[in-house]
Amino acid sequence: MVRNGKEWSVPQQRKSFLLRINPMLWEELERWAADEFRSVNGQIEFLLQRAVDERRKRPPPRPVEQPDGSEPEK
C-alpha cells in the first residue's frame, strides 16, 4: 500500500519489459537517480511520465504547407 496525501491506496500493477540502453547513459541515470533518492527504474519512470505530461500539454502539430500551397502527402 502507498500513502497518497491522507489516503492509502493500492499501487497500480506495473508492466515489465526489457530495455537495452547505452552504458554511459545508464551510468548518468544512476547518478541522477541517486541525487534524487530514486532507483534507476523509478528515475526512468519519472522522466517518462514527465515527458508524457508535457506532450499532452502541447497542441497537436500543424501540417506544413508545400511550396505550391498544398498539404503534404501522408
Instruction: Give the Cα separation of 1 and 14 in Å (integer).
Output: 14
Residue 70: per-residue pLDDT: 67
The model's confidence at residue 53, banded by pLDDT at 50, 70 and 90, is very high
Tell me if 69 is assigned to some domain.
no
Residue 73 falls within a domain, yes or no? no
List the Cα angle 32/44/26 in 5-degree steps.
60
Classify residue 62: in a domain, yes or no.
no
Q: Residue 22 — very low, low, confident or very high, per pLDDT cuts 50/70/90?
A: very high
Residue 38, domain extent: 21-56
| DSSP notation for the chain | -EEETTEEEPPPPPPP------HHHHHHHHHHHHHTT--HHHHHHHHHHHHHHHHHHSPPPPPPPPTTSPPPP-
* Per-chain mean pLDDT for the chain: 84
Domain count, the chain: 1
The reported pLDDT for the residue numbered 38 is 95
The pLDDT tens digits of the residues spanning 60-74 come to 877 777 777 666 665
**Is 63 part of any domain?**
no
